[in-house]
Amino acid sequence: MRPLSLFLAVLAPLFLTAQTTFLRPAFVFDGEKMREGWYVQVEGNKIIAAGPFKDVAFPEGAVSVELPGQTLLPGLIEGHSHLFLHPYNETSWDDQVLRESHAERTARATVHAQKTLLAGFTTVRDLGTEGAAYADLGLKDAIEKGVIAGPRIIAAGPAIVAGGSYGPKGFASHISTPVGADVADGVDELIRLVRKQIGQGVDIIKVYADYRWGLRGEAMPTFSLEELDAIVTTARSSGRDVVAHASTEEGMRRAILAGVTTIEHGDGATPEILQLMAEKGVALCPTLGAVEAISQYRGWKKGEEPAPARVVEKQEVFKQALAAGVTICMGGDVGVFSHGNNAWELELMVAYGMPPLDALRSATSVNARVFGWAGRLGAIKPGLLADLVAVEGRPDQDIKALQQVKWVMKDGKVVK
Ligand SMILES: [Zn+2]
Protein backbone atom coordinates (compact mmCIF):
# COMPACT_ATOMS: atom_id res chain seq x y z
CA MET A 1 0.00 0.00 0.00
CA ARG A 2 1.34 3.42 -0.92
CA PRO A 3 1.74 5.85 1.95
CA LEU A 4 -1.13 8.02 0.72
CA SER A 5 -3.62 5.15 0.45
CA LEU A 6 -2.47 3.86 3.83
CA PHE A 7 -3.12 7.31 5.27
CA LEU A 8 -6.61 7.38 3.74
CA ALA A 9 -7.47 3.85 4.87
CA VAL A 10 -6.56 4.64 8.46
CA LEU A 11 -7.81 8.17 8.77
CA ALA A 12 -10.77 8.38 6.40
CA PRO A 13 -13.26 6.77 8.80
CA LEU A 14 -12.43 9.47 11.34
CA PHE A 15 -13.53 12.12 8.87
CA LEU A 16 -16.31 10.26 7.11
CA THR A 17 -18.13 8.58 9.99
CA ALA A 18 -20.65 10.96 11.47
CA GLN A 19 -21.15 11.02 15.20
CA THR A 20 -23.89 8.64 16.37
CA THR A 21 -25.98 9.57 19.41
CA PHE A 22 -28.27 7.09 21.12
CA LEU A 23 -31.02 8.72 23.18
CA ARG A 24 -33.09 7.04 25.85
CA PRO A 25 -35.86 9.29 27.19
CA ALA A 26 -38.76 8.06 29.34
CA PHE A 27 -41.24 9.21 26.67
CA VAL A 28 -41.08 10.29 23.06
CA PHE A 29 -43.62 12.64 21.48
CA ASP A 30 -43.01 11.88 17.82
CA GLY A 31 -45.03 14.77 16.42
CA GLU A 32 -48.29 12.81 16.58
CA LYS A 33 -48.38 10.52 19.62
CA MET A 34 -46.74 9.89 22.98
CA ARG A 35 -44.59 6.75 22.99
CA GLU A 36 -43.25 5.03 26.06
CA GLY A 37 -39.98 3.09 26.14
CA TRP A 38 -38.68 4.37 22.83
CA TYR A 39 -35.11 5.13 21.83
CA VAL A 40 -34.01 7.65 19.20
CA GLN A 41 -30.81 7.40 17.21
CA VAL A 42 -29.12 10.37 15.56
CA GLU A 43 -26.28 10.27 13.07
CA GLY A 44 -24.70 13.50 11.90
CA ASN A 45 -27.58 15.95 11.53
CA LYS A 46 -30.28 13.33 10.86
CA ILE A 47 -32.54 11.11 12.91
CA ILE A 48 -31.77 7.64 11.57
CA ALA A 49 -33.95 5.45 13.80
CA ALA A 50 -36.67 5.63 16.44
CA GLY A 51 -38.81 2.93 17.99
CA PRO A 52 -39.29 0.55 20.93
CA PHE A 53 -36.05 0.14 22.88
CA LYS A 54 -36.45 -3.59 23.37
CA ASP A 55 -35.97 -4.15 19.63
CA VAL A 56 -32.45 -2.74 19.37
CA ALA A 57 -28.88 -3.25 20.42
CA PHE A 58 -26.79 -0.28 21.51
CA PRO A 59 -24.80 0.81 18.45
CA GLU A 60 -21.04 0.42 18.85
CA GLY A 61 -19.18 3.70 19.29
CA ALA A 62 -22.33 5.74 19.85
CA VAL A 63 -22.61 8.48 22.45
CA SER A 64 -25.28 7.53 24.97
CA VAL A 65 -27.67 10.18 26.26
CA GLU A 66 -29.91 9.01 29.10
CA LEU A 67 -32.94 11.22 29.73
CA PRO A 68 -34.77 9.58 32.66
CA GLY A 69 -38.11 11.10 33.58
CA GLN A 70 -37.99 13.27 30.46
CA THR A 71 -40.00 13.56 27.27
CA LEU A 72 -38.17 13.95 23.97
CA LEU A 73 -39.97 16.03 21.36
CA PRO A 74 -39.20 17.35 17.90
CA GLY A 75 -37.57 20.77 18.15
CA LEU A 76 -40.46 23.17 18.75
CA ILE A 77 -41.47 25.55 15.95
CA GLU A 78 -42.57 29.07 16.82
CA GLY A 79 -45.10 30.28 14.25
CA HIS A 80 -45.06 34.01 14.97
CA SER A 81 -42.04 35.73 16.46
CA HIS A 82 -40.44 39.16 16.20
CA LEU A 83 -36.80 38.67 17.15
CA PHE A 84 -36.27 42.40 16.58
CA LEU A 85 -38.84 43.47 19.18
CA HIS A 86 -38.75 43.30 22.96
CA PRO A 87 -41.70 43.55 25.37
CA TYR A 88 -43.74 46.74 25.03
CA ASN A 89 -43.84 47.24 28.82
CA GLU A 90 -40.05 47.78 28.59
CA THR A 91 -40.15 50.12 25.57
CA SER A 92 -43.19 51.01 23.46
CA TRP A 93 -43.31 49.79 19.86
CA ASP A 94 -43.07 53.41 18.65
CA ASP A 95 -39.92 54.04 20.69
CA GLN A 96 -38.31 50.80 19.53
CA VAL A 97 -38.87 51.86 15.91
CA LEU A 98 -37.93 55.53 16.39
CA ARG A 99 -35.26 55.59 19.13
CA GLU A 100 -33.36 52.30 18.92
CA SER A 101 -30.66 52.05 16.25
CA HIS A 102 -30.56 49.05 13.94
CA ALA A 103 -27.30 48.11 15.68
CA GLU A 104 -28.98 48.06 19.09
CA ARG A 105 -31.94 46.15 17.73
CA THR A 106 -29.69 43.58 16.06
CA ALA A 107 -27.66 43.18 19.26
CA ARG A 108 -30.90 42.55 21.12
CA ALA A 109 -32.03 40.11 18.42
CA THR A 110 -28.90 37.98 18.90
CA VAL A 111 -29.76 37.64 22.60
CA HIS A 112 -33.39 36.86 21.75
CA ALA A 113 -32.30 34.21 19.25
CA GLN A 114 -30.19 32.43 21.85
CA LYS A 115 -32.98 32.52 24.46
CA THR A 116 -35.41 31.10 21.91
CA LEU A 117 -33.12 28.21 21.04
CA LEU A 118 -32.39 27.34 24.69
CA ALA A 119 -36.16 27.30 25.33
CA GLY A 120 -36.38 24.39 22.89
CA PHE A 121 -37.64 26.38 19.89
CA THR A 122 -35.26 25.28 17.17
CA THR A 123 -37.19 27.01 14.36
CA VAL A 124 -39.04 30.33 14.24
CA ARG A 125 -41.14 31.97 11.60
CA ASP A 126 -40.12 35.58 12.16
CA LEU A 127 -42.91 37.79 10.85
CA GLY A 128 -41.45 41.22 10.32
CA THR A 129 -38.51 43.23 11.62
CA GLU A 130 -40.82 46.20 12.40
CA GLY A 131 -38.57 49.00 11.21
CA ALA A 132 -35.28 47.11 11.10
CA ALA A 133 -35.44 46.54 7.33
CA TYR A 134 -33.79 43.26 6.28
CA ALA A 135 -31.68 42.80 9.41
CA ASP A 136 -33.43 39.45 10.01
CA LEU A 137 -31.70 38.06 6.93
CA GLY A 138 -28.30 39.01 8.37
CA LEU A 139 -29.25 37.48 11.70
CA LYS A 140 -30.26 34.29 9.90
CA ASP A 141 -26.92 34.22 8.04
CA ALA A 142 -24.98 34.68 11.30
CA ILE A 143 -26.85 31.72 12.84
CA GLU A 144 -26.39 29.51 9.78
CA LYS A 145 -22.65 30.32 9.70
CA GLY A 146 -22.35 29.39 13.38
CA VAL A 147 -21.33 32.89 14.47
CA ILE A 148 -24.12 33.03 17.06
CA ALA A 149 -26.50 30.47 18.53
CA GLY A 150 -30.09 30.67 17.40
CA PRO A 151 -33.01 28.88 15.80
CA ARG A 152 -33.57 28.21 12.11
CA ILE A 153 -35.33 31.32 10.82
CA ILE A 154 -38.09 31.55 8.26
CA ALA A 155 -37.68 35.27 7.62
CA ALA A 156 -40.21 37.80 6.34
CA GLY A 157 -38.01 40.92 6.16
CA PRO A 158 -40.20 44.05 6.51
CA ALA A 159 -43.95 43.50 6.40
CA ILE A 160 -45.91 45.06 3.51
CA VAL A 161 -48.43 47.75 4.47
CA ALA A 162 -50.80 50.12 2.67
CA GLY A 163 -49.90 53.82 2.47
CA GLY A 164 -51.29 55.83 5.37
CA SER A 165 -52.20 52.83 7.46
CA TYR A 166 -49.18 51.92 9.54
CA GLY A 167 -47.21 53.54 12.35
CA PRO A 168 -45.52 55.18 14.08
CA LYS A 169 -48.35 57.73 13.76
CA GLY A 170 -49.77 60.77 15.47
CA PHE A 171 -47.09 63.34 14.59
CA ALA A 172 -47.70 66.81 13.17
CA SER A 173 -48.31 66.68 9.42
CA HIS A 174 -45.04 68.52 8.61
CA ILE A 175 -42.98 65.90 10.49
CA SER A 176 -42.02 62.93 8.39
CA THR A 177 -41.44 59.73 10.35
CA PRO A 178 -40.20 56.37 9.15
CA VAL A 179 -42.76 53.58 8.83
CA GLY A 180 -42.10 50.28 10.64
CA ALA A 181 -42.69 48.30 7.43
CA ASP A 182 -42.53 48.56 3.60
CA VAL A 183 -45.25 50.77 2.05
CA ALA A 184 -46.74 50.11 -1.38
CA ASP A 185 -50.08 50.75 -3.08
CA GLY A 186 -51.73 49.52 -6.24
CA VAL A 187 -51.11 46.33 -8.15
CA ASP A 188 -47.98 47.50 -9.99
CA GLU A 189 -46.21 48.88 -6.94
CA LEU A 190 -47.07 45.80 -4.89
CA ILE A 191 -45.79 43.41 -7.55
CA ARG A 192 -42.56 45.42 -7.69
CA LEU A 193 -42.18 45.38 -3.89
CA VAL A 194 -42.88 41.66 -3.52
CA ARG A 195 -40.29 40.94 -6.22
CA LYS A 196 -37.81 43.25 -4.51
CA GLN A 197 -38.31 41.43 -1.20
CA ILE A 198 -37.85 38.08 -2.94
CA GLY A 199 -34.63 39.41 -4.46
CA GLN A 200 -33.43 40.46 -1.01
CA GLY A 201 -33.88 36.85 0.09
CA VAL A 202 -36.99 36.73 2.28
CA ASP A 203 -38.50 33.28 2.83
CA ILE A 204 -42.09 34.45 3.19
CA ILE A 205 -44.16 37.56 2.48
CA LYS A 206 -46.03 39.21 5.36
CA VAL A 207 -48.85 41.62 4.57
CA TYR A 208 -51.16 43.68 6.79
CA ALA A 209 -54.65 43.02 5.42
CA ASP A 210 -56.11 45.39 7.99
CA TYR A 211 -54.86 47.82 10.60
CA ARG A 212 -56.05 50.28 13.22
CA TRP A 213 -56.77 53.17 10.85
CA GLY A 214 -60.56 53.39 11.17
CA LEU A 215 -62.37 56.63 12.00
CA ARG A 216 -62.15 55.89 15.72
CA GLY A 217 -58.81 54.12 15.53
CA GLU A 218 -60.45 50.73 15.08
CA ALA A 219 -59.04 48.03 12.80
CA MET A 220 -60.31 48.30 9.23
CA PRO A 221 -59.30 46.57 5.96
CA THR A 222 -56.38 48.09 4.05
CA PHE A 223 -55.57 46.43 0.71
CA SER A 224 -58.27 45.62 -1.82
CA LEU A 225 -58.86 42.02 -2.87
CA GLU A 226 -57.23 42.87 -6.21
CA GLU A 227 -54.09 44.13 -4.45
CA LEU A 228 -53.91 41.07 -2.17
CA ASP A 229 -54.38 38.82 -5.21
CA ALA A 230 -51.40 40.48 -6.88
CA ILE A 231 -49.24 39.99 -3.77
CA VAL A 232 -50.12 36.31 -3.42
CA THR A 233 -49.82 35.53 -7.13
CA THR A 234 -46.39 37.19 -7.31
CA ALA A 235 -45.10 35.45 -4.19
CA ARG A 236 -46.51 32.05 -5.19
CA SER A 237 -44.86 32.34 -8.57
CA SER A 238 -41.51 32.23 -6.75
CA GLY A 239 -42.60 29.36 -4.49
CA ARG A 240 -43.16 31.59 -1.46
CA ASP A 241 -46.16 31.74 0.82
CA VAL A 242 -47.93 34.84 2.06
CA VAL A 243 -49.12 35.39 5.63
CA ALA A 244 -51.65 38.05 6.49
CA HIS A 245 -52.07 40.03 9.66
CA ALA A 246 -55.86 40.29 9.88
CA SER A 247 -58.29 40.78 12.71
CA THR A 248 -61.38 42.15 10.96
CA GLU A 249 -63.96 40.00 9.24
CA GLU A 250 -63.51 41.75 5.87
CA GLY A 251 -59.71 41.85 6.11
CA MET A 252 -59.69 38.14 6.81
CA ARG A 253 -62.17 37.40 4.00
CA ARG A 254 -60.04 39.22 1.41
CA ALA A 255 -56.84 37.53 2.63
CA ILE A 256 -58.43 34.07 2.54
CA LEU A 257 -59.88 34.60 -0.94
CA ALA A 258 -56.52 35.89 -2.18
CA GLY A 259 -54.94 32.60 -1.06
CA VAL A 260 -52.75 33.40 1.94
CA THR A 261 -51.37 30.43 3.87
CA THR A 262 -52.03 31.69 7.39
CA ILE A 263 -54.04 34.42 9.07
CA GLU A 264 -52.30 36.02 12.05
CA HIS A 265 -54.42 37.07 15.07
CA GLY A 266 -57.98 36.68 13.68
CA ASP A 267 -59.56 38.39 16.69
CA GLY A 268 -62.73 39.46 14.88
CA ALA A 269 -63.36 36.17 13.09
CA THR A 270 -67.02 35.19 12.69
CA PRO A 271 -68.30 31.59 12.42
CA GLU A 272 -68.75 32.16 8.67
CA ILE A 273 -65.13 33.30 8.26
CA LEU A 274 -63.84 30.37 10.29
CA GLN A 275 -65.88 28.07 8.07
CA LEU A 276 -64.29 29.65 5.00
CA MET A 277 -60.81 29.14 6.53
CA ALA A 278 -61.55 25.48 7.21
CA GLU A 279 -62.86 25.00 3.64
CA LYS A 280 -59.90 26.74 1.99
CA GLY A 281 -57.31 25.15 4.28
CA VAL A 282 -56.07 28.49 5.60
CA ALA A 283 -54.48 28.10 9.03
CA LEU A 284 -55.00 30.44 11.97
CA CYS A 285 -52.10 31.61 14.09
CA PRO A 286 -54.07 32.97 17.04
CA THR A 287 -51.35 34.86 19.02
CA LEU A 288 -53.09 34.42 22.38
CA GLY A 289 -49.97 35.47 24.27
CA ALA A 290 -49.86 38.91 22.62
CA VAL A 291 -53.45 39.71 23.60
CA GLU A 292 -52.94 38.56 27.20
CA ALA A 293 -49.60 40.38 27.49
CA ILE A 294 -50.93 43.69 26.13
CA SER A 295 -53.98 43.47 28.42
CA GLN A 296 -51.64 42.98 31.38
CA TYR A 297 -49.42 45.91 30.28
CA ARG A 298 -52.63 48.02 30.30
CA GLY A 299 -53.26 47.09 33.92
CA TRP A 300 -55.14 43.78 33.94
CA LYS A 301 -54.14 41.78 37.04
CA LYS A 302 -54.61 38.23 35.79
CA GLY A 303 -55.81 35.89 38.50
CA GLU A 304 -57.09 38.76 40.65
CA GLU A 305 -59.50 40.41 38.21
CA PRO A 306 -61.92 39.06 35.61
CA ALA A 307 -60.50 38.93 32.10
CA PRO A 308 -61.03 42.11 30.03
CA ALA A 309 -63.43 42.00 27.06
CA ARG A 310 -60.59 41.65 24.56
CA VAL A 311 -59.31 38.49 26.24
CA VAL A 312 -62.80 37.02 26.61
CA GLU A 313 -63.45 37.62 22.87
CA LYS A 314 -60.15 35.94 22.04
CA GLN A 315 -61.07 32.89 24.11
CA GLU A 316 -64.44 32.71 22.30
CA VAL A 317 -62.94 32.98 18.81
CA PHE A 318 -60.31 30.36 19.65
CA LYS A 319 -63.00 27.93 20.82
CA GLN A 320 -65.06 28.60 17.68
CA ALA A 321 -61.99 28.02 15.48
CA LEU A 322 -61.38 24.66 17.16
CA ALA A 323 -65.04 23.71 16.71
CA ALA A 324 -64.95 24.73 13.02
CA GLY A 325 -61.93 22.49 12.44
CA VAL A 326 -59.59 25.33 11.43
CA THR A 327 -55.92 24.31 11.40
CA ILE A 328 -54.25 26.05 14.34
CA CYS A 329 -50.62 27.12 14.12
CA MET A 330 -48.81 27.69 17.37
CA GLY A 331 -47.52 31.25 17.29
CA GLY A 332 -47.67 33.74 20.12
CA ASP A 333 -46.37 37.01 18.59
CA VAL A 334 -43.41 36.62 20.97
CA GLY A 335 -41.44 39.83 21.17
CA VAL A 336 -44.59 41.52 22.45
CA PHE A 337 -43.73 39.33 25.47
CA SER A 338 -40.32 37.89 26.41
CA HIS A 339 -38.31 35.77 24.00
CA GLY A 340 -37.64 32.41 25.60
CA ASN A 341 -41.14 32.37 27.06
CA ASN A 342 -42.52 31.03 23.76
CA ALA A 343 -44.10 28.00 25.47
CA TRP A 344 -46.51 30.31 27.29
CA GLU A 345 -48.59 30.34 24.08
CA LEU A 346 -49.12 26.57 24.38
CA GLU A 347 -50.23 26.99 28.01
CA LEU A 348 -52.84 29.50 26.83
CA MET A 349 -53.97 27.26 23.95
CA VAL A 350 -54.63 24.51 26.50
CA ALA A 351 -56.24 26.91 28.99
CA TYR A 352 -58.56 28.12 26.19
CA GLY A 353 -59.73 24.58 25.42
CA MET A 354 -57.25 22.78 23.17
CA PRO A 355 -56.22 19.25 24.27
CA PRO A 356 -52.50 19.27 25.25
CA LEU A 357 -51.58 16.69 22.58
CA ASP A 358 -53.14 18.90 19.91
CA ALA A 359 -51.18 21.89 21.21
CA LEU A 360 -47.96 19.82 20.96
CA ARG A 361 -48.89 18.76 17.41
CA SER A 362 -49.54 22.38 16.52
CA ALA A 363 -46.03 23.46 17.63
CA THR A 364 -44.35 20.56 15.81
CA SER A 365 -45.90 18.55 12.95
CA VAL A 366 -48.65 21.05 12.10
CA ASN A 367 -46.35 24.08 11.96
CA ALA A 368 -43.81 22.08 9.93
CA ARG A 369 -46.48 21.14 7.40
CA VAL A 370 -48.09 24.59 7.18
CA PHE A 371 -44.69 26.29 6.83
CA GLY A 372 -43.53 23.90 4.09
CA TRP A 373 -41.05 21.91 6.19
CA ALA A 374 -42.90 18.57 6.38
CA GLY A 375 -40.51 15.66 5.84
CA ARG A 376 -37.61 17.70 7.25
CA LEU A 377 -38.82 19.03 10.61
CA GLY A 378 -41.63 18.64 13.10
CA ALA A 379 -41.49 14.90 13.79
CA ILE A 380 -39.21 12.23 15.23
CA LYS A 381 -38.86 9.87 12.30
CA PRO A 382 -35.92 8.41 10.38
CA GLY A 383 -34.64 10.81 7.73
CA LEU A 384 -35.70 14.03 9.41
CA LEU A 385 -33.28 16.69 10.63
CA ALA A 386 -32.07 16.12 14.19
CA ASP A 387 -33.80 19.02 15.92
CA LEU A 388 -34.79 17.59 19.31
CA VAL A 389 -35.70 18.87 22.75
CA ALA A 390 -36.06 17.06 26.09
CA VAL A 391 -38.26 18.41 28.86
CA GLU A 392 -38.79 17.23 32.43
CA GLY A 393 -42.06 15.32 32.90
CA ARG A 394 -44.94 14.77 30.50
CA PRO A 395 -46.19 17.81 28.56
CA ASP A 396 -49.24 15.84 27.37
CA GLN A 397 -50.37 15.70 31.01
CA ASP A 398 -49.11 19.12 32.10
CA ILE A 399 -48.25 21.49 29.27
CA LYS A 400 -46.18 23.61 31.69
CA ALA A 401 -43.54 20.85 31.45
CA LEU A 402 -42.43 22.64 28.25
CA GLN A 403 -40.91 25.32 30.48
CA GLN A 404 -38.57 22.67 32.02
CA VAL A 405 -36.18 22.30 29.09
CA LYS A 406 -33.25 20.03 29.97
CA TRP A 407 -31.56 19.27 26.68
CA VAL A 408 -31.67 20.73 23.16
CA MET A 409 -30.18 19.51 19.88
CA LYS A 410 -30.31 21.52 16.67
CA ASP A 411 -29.16 20.08 13.37
CA GLY A 412 -27.43 17.22 15.19
CA LYS A 413 -25.49 19.47 17.56
CA VAL A 414 -26.19 19.58 21.29
CA VAL A 415 -26.78 23.23 22.20
CA LYS A 416 -28.00 22.72 25.77
ZN1 LIG B 1 -46.66 40.06 15.04
Per-residue pLDDT tens for 3-24?
A: 555 544 555 445 557 899 999 9
Indicate the pLDDT class of residue 409, thresholds 50, 70 and 90: very high
Residue 176 has pLDDT above 80, yes or no: yes
**Can you tell me the distance from the alpha carbon of 74 to that of 361, in angstroms, rounded to the nearest whole number?**
10
Give whole-number Cα distances, 103 to 77, 139, 167, in Å. 27, 12, 21
In the chain, % of residues over pLDDT 70: 96
User: Domains along the chain?
Assistant: 17-74+379-414 (2.30.40.10), 76-342 (3.20.20.140)
CB of 398 within 8 A of CB of 391?
no
Q: How far does residue 414's CA lie from ligand 1's centre (Å)?
A: 30
Biggest CA–CA distance in the chain, Å, is 85
Q: How far does residue 37's CA lie from ligand 1's centre (Å)?
A: 39
Per-residue pLDDT tens for 182-199?
A: 999 999 999 999 999 999
> To the nearest whole number, what is the mean pLDDT of the chain?
96
Residue 1 has pLDDT above 60, yes or no: no
Residue 292 has pLDDT above 50, yes or no: yes
Q: How far does residue 395's CA lie from ligand 1's centre (Å)?
A: 26
Q: How far does residue 229's CA lie from ligand 1's centre (Å)?
A: 22
Q: How far does residue 80's CA lie from ligand 1's centre (Å)?
A: 6
Phi/psi region, residue 156 (left: phi>0; alpha: psi -120 to 50; beta: rest), is alpha
CB of 240 within 8 A of CB of 198?
yes
pLDDT at 405: 98
